[in-house]
Structure 1
Amino acid sequence: MTTSHTHSQDSSRPWWSQLSGYHWFVFVVASLAWFFDCLDQRLFSLARIPALKELMPGTSQSGIQAMGKDVTALFLVGWGIGGMVFGALGDRYGRSRMLTVTVLIYSLFTGLSFFSHYYWDFALFRFLTGVGVGGVFGLAVALIAETVPAGARAGALGTLQVLSTVGNISASFIKMGIDSLEKGGSIPPNHGWRYLFLVGAVPALLVIFIQKYLREPEPWLKLKAEGRLPAGSIFSPYVALLGDKKWRSNLIIGAVIASTGVIGLWAIGEYAVDLQDVVFKQHFLSLGVDPAQVAGKVSDAKNLAFLLNMLGGAVGMSVFTWMCGVLGRRKSFVIGFSAALVVTALVYKNVTTPTQAMWMMPLMGAVQLGPLAGFSIYLPELFPSRLRSTGISFCYNLGRFAAAAGSLFSARLATDVFAKSGVPDNLRYSAITMCAIFIVGIVAVIWAPETKGQPLPED
C-alpha cells in the first residue's frame, strides 16, 4: 500500500517543483550515498593498476592487467553479495537503517585499502568494500521511490543516476590532484593510489545525517504497523518473490535487463582505461616523446578522456530519463542497448590516439551509462513495497556476479585466446567480442512489462 501523496500523478509540473523540504532532504541524502558509492567505484578503477604494480613487483604488464581484472571480479562478487544481503535486510529492518550500515562498511574498507602491503590484503579489502557498495543502490532507490510524489518519481530516480556521474567526475579531479601532489614530491613516488583510497573513507561522515534525521518511508512504516514485513530468515523475501508468479516473472526480466547494462559497463567499459594505457603509450613513443615523459603524458590524457567519458554519461542518462517519460520504458531500453552495442564496438575497434579518445569516450559514456538511469526508474516499478528493496537489489546486483564472470571471461579471452593466437591488441578484441551481451538485453525486453504512467505496484 502506498500513501496518497505517492499515488498523485502530476505530469504537468517539473518533477523538482513537486518536492517538499523533506522530499528534497531524502533525495539529497540518498544521492550523496550513491555519489560516494560511485566515487569509491571510480577511485578503484583509477587506482587498481598502479596499486598492483607496487604490490606485485616484477610482474609483467600483461600479468598486471590480468590481475587487475581478477581483483575487479572479487570486488564485483562482494558487491553482488552485499546487494543481495542488504536488499533483503532493507525490506525487513528499514531502508534508512541499512543505508547507514552500508555506507559505514564501504567507507571503512576503502580507507583500509591505504594500508595494503600485498596482493591478497588489497584484494580482501576490495571484496569487503564491495559488500558495502553493493547494498547502497537498492536501498537508495527504494527510499526515494517510496517517499517522493508519483509525478516526481521517474525524474528524481533518473536524476539520482545522473548525479552519480558527479561522483565519477570528482574521482577524476581527485586523481589529478593526487597526481600533482605526487609529481611535486608531497606524496612518495608510486604511492598516490594509497591516498585515493584514503579519500574514499570520507563518506562515513554522511552516517551522522542519516542516523539523526532520515525517517523510514511511510509505505514501509505502514507495512510494519500491519505486521506485513518479511519474517523468518534473511532468505524469506526471496522465497516470497519466487513464490508469486507475477513477482517471479518481474524478477527474472528485471535481472536480465539490469545484468546486461552492468556487464556492459564493468566487463567492457571499465577496461577502456587499460586499453588507453597501451595505445596512448604507443602513440607518444611513435611521436618521439622522451620515454621519461611518456608516463606523465599518458596519465594526463587518460584523466581527460575519463572526465569526458563521465560528462557523456551524464548527458546519456539525462536523455534516457527523458526517453522513459516520452517513449516508455521498453522502447527506451531497446534503443539504449542497440546504441551501446554499436557505439562501444566501434570505439574499441578504432581508438588509437588521445585525440580520437577525446570525442569517442563521451559517446561511449553516453550509451553505456544511459540505461543505468532506466534501472533506477524501472526496477522499483516491478515490485511491491514489502519486497521492493529485495527485488531492486537482486536485479541490479545479480549483474555484479555476471559482470565478475564476464570480467574473468574477458581476461581469458585477452590472454588465452587472442594473445596466444597472435592477435595484436588483444584487449581491444576481447572487449569487442563482449559487446554481444547487449543483444541479450534487447531480446529480454520482449517479455518486459511496460510501467510508464502506472502507480507503484502492491499486493
Structure 2
Amino acid sequence: MTVSTDSATPSSVPWWRLLNRGHWVVFFLAAMAWLIDCMDQQIFNISRDAAVADLVDKSLAIEYSPYTTSIFLVGWAIGGMILGSLGDRYGRARVLFFAVLMYAACTGLSAASTGFWDFSFYRFITGIGVGGVFGLSVALVADSIPDGARAQSLGVLQSLSAFGNITTGLVGMGIGALAIRGLLPFHLATWQVLFIIGAFPALIILPSLFRLKEPEKWVKAKAEGERKGIKFGSIKTLLSHPTWRKNAWLGMIVSSAGIVGLWGIGNFAPAIVRSIVDTHLANANLTAEAMSSEKAYWAAVGLLLQTTGGFFGMLALSKFAQVKGRRAAAALALLLSFATTVMVFSFMRTTSQMYWMLPIMGFGQYSIFGVYAVYLPELFPTSLRSTGVSFCYNLGRLIAATAPFTIGQITRSLGGNIEAFRTGGIIVSMVLLIGIVVLPFLPETMNRPLPEE
C-alpha cells in the first residue's frame, strides 16, 4: 500500500474528509504506536516508586527513584537520535516496527527485576525503543497525509496519546483495587503486574506495522536523493546546513523546556500524591502491604486526573497553533506549564485538592506536546524530518534527564523529605521559561508547505 499526499482541497473542507483508506491506516497505526508508547511510559511513572522501594533499601528509595527516570530518559535520548536517523535512511514504518518491539519487550522484562541495576538496565533499553516512536510517527504521518490535513492530524495524533495515559490510570486503579483485596496472582507486587500488562498491547499492532509500506513522498524523495547524492538521516548534514542547524538547536531548547516540565517535574506528582495518602491514612492502622496498595491506587487516580487534563491541553493548544501560529502557541503552553507546576508543588496538600489541581497541571504540562507534534516536522526537509524531530525531542530528553537527578540532589541537600522534594520541583521548573526566550528566533511555519532541500 502506497500512500499519496497529492491533494489540494479548500480549507473549508473538514480535514478528515481529505483522507482515504490508506491515509487512515497510516494514521491509526502511528497513533496506536505512540498511544501504547505513552501507556508504557506512564506505567513506569506510577510503578517507579513502589518498584524502587522493593528493590533497594527503603531509606534510599526517595533518592534513587529519580535516578531511574534519568536512566530511562538517557536511553530515550540515545534511542531517539539513532532510530530517528535510521528512519530517514531506511524508512519510517520499518524502523517504527523495531522501536515498538523493543519497548514492549523490555517493559515486560522490567517485572522480572531483582535489584536496582537490572531494573535500570531494562528501563534504559525500554527508553531506546520509546525514544524513536515520536519522531518516526510524526514523520510517517507528515509524509503520508495531504498537506491540507497535516497539522490537524498531527495535533489529533498527539492528543490521542493521552488515552494511553488515561488507560494506564484506569488499569492502575483496577490493579490497585485488586491488590487492596489481596487478589493479585502468584504473590506478585502491584508494580510487577502493571509492567506485565504494559507489554501486551503492542503485540496487537506489530503484525500490521510489519506489513506497512513507506510513504510515497519518502520513497520518491529517497530515490531522488540517491540520484543527487543527498544523504538521508545525516546528523552531520543537519548540523552543518545553516537553516536546519539553526532550527535543530533552537527547536531542541524549546523541546527541552517542555520535556523538563513534564518528565523532569510533572511526572513526579505521584510522589506528592503518595505523601498525601500517607498523611490521610496515618491513623488507619493499615499494614505496610495495605498502605502500599492504597498508594498504588491513588497514584493511578492522580495519573488519570492529570492525563485527562493533558488530553484537553494538547487538543486545545494544537488547535491554537493552527489558528494563531506555532510560536505563539508554544509560548502560551510553556507559560501554562510553569504556572500550573508551581501551583501543584506549592499548594496541593489534600486528596480533595487533587481532583481539580492535577487536571489543571496536566492541561498545562501536556499542552506544549500538542504544539511539538504540529511544529517540529515543519522545521525540516524530507531527508532530515525524522532526524530533525528526533534531535529536538530526544536530545531535549537527554538534557531533561538531568532534572530528576537535580531534584534528587536538592531533595537530599534540604533534608530528604517531601517538602524538600516540592522545593526542588519548583526550582527546576524555572527552566520552562528559557524555552519562551528562544521562540522569536525560530521561523513561523503556519500556512507554509513542508520545507524541502
Which TM-score band (shorter chain)?
A: over 0.9
Q: Is the 8 A contact 2:239 2:245 kept in 1?
A: yes
Q: Which amino acid aligns with 1:256?
A: I
Q: CA deviation at 1:36?
A: 1.0
1:437 is aligned to 431
**1:213-238 alpha-carbon deviations (Å, 9 max, x no partner):** x111112101222243998999x611
Q: CA deviation at 1:329?
A: 0.5
Q: Which amino acid aligns with 1:211?
A: F
CA–CA distance in structure 1, aligned partners of residues 5 and 134 of structure 2: 23
Q: Is the 8 A contact 2:172 2:296 kept in 1?
A: no
1:87 is aligned to 84
The count of corresponding residues between Structure 1 and Structure 2 is: 447
Q: CA deviation at 1:284?
A: 3.2
Q: Is the 8 A contact 1:253 1:444 kept in 2?
A: yes
Q: Which amino acid aligns with 1:107?
A: A
Q: CA deviation at 1:161?
A: 1.1
Equivalent residue runs for 1:268-347 within 5 Å: 268-285=265-282, 288-292=283-287, 294-347=291-344
Q: Is the 8 A contact 1:91 1:229 kept in 2?
A: no
Structure 2 gap ranges (5+): none
Q: Which amino acid aligns with 1:343?
A: T
Change (3 A) 1:231 1:389: farther
Q: CA deviation at 1:453?
A: 0.5
**1:64-88 alpha-carbon deviations (Å, 9 max, x no partner):** 0211111111111000000000000
1:191 is aligned to 189
Q: CA deviation at 1:439?
A: 0.9
Change (3 A) 1:445 1:97: same
Higher mean C-alpha displacement, 215-224 vs 276-285? 276-285
SS at match of 1:99: helix
Equivalent residue runs for 1:172-251 within 5 Å: 172-182=169-179, 183-189=181-187, 191-202=189-200, 203-212=202-211, 214-228=212-226, 237-251=234-248
User: Could you tell me which of 143, 146, 151 is aligned with 1:149?
Assistant: 146
CA–CA distance in structure 2, aligned partners of residues 95 and 107 of structure 1: 18
Q: Is the 8 A contact 2:5 2:143 kept in 1?
A: no
SS at match of 2:17: helix
Q: Is the 8 A contact 1:78 1:129 kept in 2?
A: yes
Change (3 A) 1:72 1:392: same
1:350 is aligned to 347
CA–CA distance in structure 2, aligned partners of residues 365 and 269 of structure 1: 8
Change (3 A) 1:128 1:298: closer
User: Could you tell me which of 93, 102, 107 is aligned with 2:104?
Assistant: 107
**1:245-295 alpha-carbon deviations (Å, 9 max, x no partner):** 01111111111111111111011101111112113311332xx43344655
Q: CA deviation at 1:201?
A: 1.7
SS at match of 1:128: helix
1:166 is aligned to 163
CA–CA distance in structure 1, aligned partners of residues 177 and 228 of structure 2: 51
SS at match of 1:226: helix
Change (3 A) 1:296 1:55: closer
SS at match of 1:184: coil
Change (3 A) 1:206 1:230: farther
- TM-score normalized with structure 1 length: 0.93
CA–CA distance in structure 1, aligned partners of residues 77 and 285 of structure 2: 44
1:136 is aligned to 133
Q: CA deviation at 1:379?
A: 0.5
1:399 is aligned to 396
SS at match of 1:450: coil
Change (3 A) 1:156 1:233: closer
CA–CA distance in structure 2, aligned partners of residues 280 and 313 of structure 1: 23
Q: CA deviation at 1:186?
A: 3.4
User: Does 1:36 find its partner at 2:36?
Assistant: yes
1:124 is aligned to 121
Q: CA deviation at 1:34?
A: 0.3
User: Does 1:78 find its partner at 2:70?
Assistant: no
Change (3 A) 1:69 1:231: farther
Q: Is the 8 A contact 2:176 2:294 kept in 1?
A: no
Structure 1 gap ranges (5+): none
Q: CA deviation at 1:15?
A: 1.6
Q: Is the 8 A contact 1:230 1:237 kept in 2?
A: no
CA–CA distance in structure 2, aligned partners of residues 358 and 41 of structure 1: 22
Q: CA deviation at 1:296?
A: 4.6
Q: Give identity over the alignment, percent.
A: 39
2:411 is aligned to 414
Q: CA deviation at 1:297?
A: 4.3
Q: Is the 8 A contact 1:87 1:389 kept in 2?
A: yes
CA–CA distance in structure 1, aligned partners of residues 314 and 20 of structure 2: 24
1:51 is aligned to 51
Q: Which amino acid aligns with 2:284?
A: V
Change (3 A) 1:4 1:22: closer
Q: Is the 8 A contact 1:305 1:361 kept in 2?
A: yes
Change (3 A) 1:331 1:232: closer
CA–CA distance in structure 2, aligned partners of residues 447 and 352 of structure 1: 40
Q: Which amino acid aligns with 2:223?
A: A
Q: Which amino acid aligns with 2:272?
A: L
CA–CA distance in structure 2, aligned partners of residues 296 and 40 of structure 1: 20
CA–CA distance in structure 2, aligned partners of residues 430 and 121 of structure 1: 28
Q: CA deviation at 1:46?
A: 1.1
RMSD: 2.1
**1:328-359 alpha-carbon deviations (Å, 9 max, x no partner):** 01111111111211121022100000100110
SS at match of 1:96: helix
CA–CA distance in structure 2, aligned partners of residues 354 and 162 of structure 1: 27
